[in-house]
Amino acid sequence: MNGIPMEHGLLLSVVLFVLGLTGVLVRRNLIMILMSLEVMLNATGLAFIVAGSRWGQADGQIMFLLILTLAAAEVGVGLGLVLQIFRRFHTLDADSLNGMKG
């Protein structure tokens, strides 16, 4: 049993990354932007796992654990920022936040 070819795994990773990038560029809701960032991070993790399994190394799985840790930190900080933005501006529309003053 040979498993899934490397090209198929990398193609799936590219498709997921492009979908996530499209979501980041097109969406206006901050929560949807964060979800698209998560899809992009998972796509890169998938690429690392596919490449690691191709060469029989555990490096891809270790990088995926690092990516999962980064994604968890991004969710924690990102949702905290989203809550503060919603409390202050009463909206999650990214276009309406362009008039922020420091």
Distance, CA of 38 to CA of 75 (rounded, Å): 8
Q: Is 44 in contact with 17 (CB distance < 8 Å)?
A: yes
Q: What is the pLDDT of residue 1?
A: 41
Q: Is the pLDDT of residue 44 over 80?
A: yes
Mean predicted confidence (pLDDT) in 65-71? 94
CATH 1.10.287.3510 fits 7-90, yes or no: yes
Mean pLDDT score of the chain: 90
CA-based nearest residue to 41, from 62, 60, 12, 13: 13
Mean predicted confidence (pLDDT) in 25-53? 94
User: Tokens 């949702």 belong to which residue?
Assistant: 79
Q: Is the pLDDT of residue 3 over 80?
A: no
Please report which confidence band the pLDDT of residue 74 belongs to, taking 50, 70 and 90 as the band edges: very high
Mean predicted confidence (pLDDT) in 68-73? 93
